[in-house]
Amino acid sequence: MATTTKNKKKKPTQACRADKHKLYEYSVQNVKGEIDFIDHTFRSLRKRNAKTLREDFCGTANTSCEWVRRRNGNHAICVDHDQAVLDWGRNNNLSRLTRAQKKRILLLNEDVMQIRNDPVDLVLAMNFSYWVFKDRSTMIKYFRNAYKGLKKDGVFFLDAFGGFEAFREMEERRDYGKFIYVWDQVSYNPIDGHGLFKIHYKFKDGSKLKDAFIYDWRVWTLPELIEMLAEAGFKSTIYWEGTGKDKEGNGVFTPATQGEADAGWVVYIVAEK
């Protein structure tokens, strides 16, 4: 009997087959570049190699996996309060480490506000995750907990974004060939500084992974962050990105006291204990 349209099985769309964590790691993260920067900056500040790292808001622990791969003797504690994302990291990232590397990484389902650890060289709060803390007193409490978790000469690494487009309701798209990444600045309230951000993915077959990730954040400015870090005991330096011939960011971040009033920028904040 000929197959009718009715009983023909529908092929799952690309969006149905996609894994949002894989898409995120590919389109948002650059863990090799990030660990290069952190490792090099710590060494130039402290004249020794960092060994121990605590990755707050670790998600899939991709960055910490890169850390333990980087040098024998590097250890990582990864903190996230979402067991599902930690499980994904264990099954997809830790599973690719050697047995020896796996012994040097620990996943913890904990709140970054409550976590207590033996002091480490580095604490990381990357991809703006700490912007979930929306008022000064909560943010300072978090920064104090990062301070407590560090050795005497430890360094806290964070990132931040800004520029006049950070306050606009707009979308930015990047084409990765097999999919399009969409950064959606859904809303911004100038009165309380709260911003709603989403990541969507679009595919060649027209299917979409809408609201793959949703972030309800306070859009903090650099002077606010530097002041709160100082209240928690840190001395902060902003590392501003250089520009290439094409006038786009070149991925090289150096200490700066003067930035540019660009439409959009991303910086590292290096906060020394």
Which chain residues interact with ligand SAM by CB under 6 A?
Answer: 28-29, 57-59, 63, 79-82, 85, 111-113, 126-127, 129, 132
Report residue 123 as tokens.
Answer: 């604490």
- Taking Cα atoms as reference points, which of 27, 47, 44 lies closest to residue 127? 27
Q: Sheet of 170-175: strands edge to edge?
A: 170-175, 179-189, 194-203, 208-218
- Calculated CA dihedral for residues 21, 103, 129, 154, nearest 10 degrees: -150
Nearer to ligand SAM, 114 or 258 (CB): 114
Of 153 and 216, CB closest to ligand SAM: 216
For ligand SAM, the closer CB: 142 or 179: 142
Distance of closest approach, residue 74 Cβ to ligand SAM, in angstroms: 17
R_g of the chain, CA atoms, integer Å: 20
Contact 107, 86 (CB under 8 A): yes
167 to 104, 130, 162, 264: CA distances (angstroms)? 41, 18, 8, 10
User: Measuring CA to CA, how many Å separate 10 from each of 18, 53, 167, 204, 205?
Assistant: 16, 47, 42, 17, 13
2 Cβ partners below 8 Å, 6+ apart?
Answer: none
Report the residue number, 13 or 30, with the smaller CB distance to ligand SAM: 30
At closest approach, how far in Å is the CB of 24 from ligand SAM? 7
State the minimum distance, in angstroms, from the CB of residue 47 to ligand SAM: 27
Q: How far is the CB of 86 from ligand SAM (least distance, A)?
A: 8
CB of 269 to ligand SAM, least distance (A): 14
DSSP, collapsed to helix, strand or coil, labels residue 40 as helix
For ligand SAM, the closer CB: 134 or 151: 134
Nearer to ligand SAM, 111 or 118 (CB): 111
Residue 5 CB, nearest approach to ligand SAM (Å)? 42
Cβ contacts of 150 within 8 Å, gap of 6 or more:
119, 120, 121, 122, 123, 156, 273
